[in-house]
Structure 1
């Protein structure tokens, strides 16, 4: 049940990020074509693109945390015994949660301050911009708690103890997923 929920949340984040990126591309490309081709433009394009970029970035941090894709140095952690690895994950997780609480608090205060201030062209309140920090902080806190839980409860699995995924491992995993999906499809059609 919980695995399906986390998969659904992960897929939803991926779709939101893809939609933000697509909308940004359409707005910027459309504005360039209109400016150079027709000597006009979309006046709100820059503001909306900037807003989408901020949301894309903050949603991406949640997704990267969930998939262990953030940059990290694991040379010390890999040399520690099992209990030392779990202790490092617990300590670093608590510190990250404290930073997320600061991000949440600061973003919440900024959103409150800027609730009445609107972007000059689109009229969207600046609070929407700072709400990205609120969403990211909450999503990261949940993701970090989940990572800590996985490391402490299911720590016998190497993937739950080492929180850094190497690029080669990510590529091999993606290729294996594609091959599995392809074999499933072929099995259904046969």
Structure 2
């Protein structure tokens, strides 16, 4: 979504969040590859393994998947059905897309709320993911991811509403 129509402070915040998302995604993906490769080499050649590596890899897969979904929503490339909207004229298409953005926003907010409840129950249980990392800390990506996706779709919704009203030119 273009940031040119946002207030300058919000545009800077969006750019900072985008940079942070990309850095986390690249870092975690690199860590995942290195950890998996090290685990394979150590097991095959030295008959040893890194303690907690398998659990860490499972968590990294979850985090990378959510960070990838956040990045996809940022670029408007997240899964969506546009079988009808693709053939509609400009402003009508923008109105239909705004409705689907609103629906996605509401669903993501509901999922963020439920994942917060899930995380809270994990915190109360005191369960550990591995070593000294509590499960609830490992699950932080759930409400964070759904909230970031919801915020992105909120921005997209406002953008498409402005297009539908003729206040912005449709791309």
- Bin of the TM-score, shorter chain as denominator length: 0.7 to 0.9
Query: Higher relative CO (CA 8 A, sep ≥ 6), structure 1 or 2?
Result: 2
Residue 165 of structure 1 aligns with which residue?
none
Matching of residue 129 in structure 1 with residue 142 in structure 2? no
Give the aligned partner of residue 183 of structure 1: none
| Structure-2 residue corresponding to 1:148 | 157
Aligned pairs (5 A) from 1:95-114: 95-114=103-122
Task: Please identify which structure carries the higher helix content.
Answer: 1
Alignment of 1:46-65 (within 5 A): 46-65=54-73
TM-score between the two structures when normalised by the length of structure 2: 0.83
1:21 equivalent to 2:21? Answer no
**Residues 71 and 100 of structure 1, relative CA distance in 2, 3 Å threshold:** closer
- The count of residues paired between Structure 1 and Structure 2 equals 157
Q: Which runs of 5+ in 1 are unaligned?
A: 159-190
Q: Which runs of 5+ in 2 are unaligned?
A: 1-7
Which of the pair has more CA radius of gyration? Answer: 1
SS at match of 1:8: helix
The alignment status of 1:12 with 2:25, answered yes or no, reads no
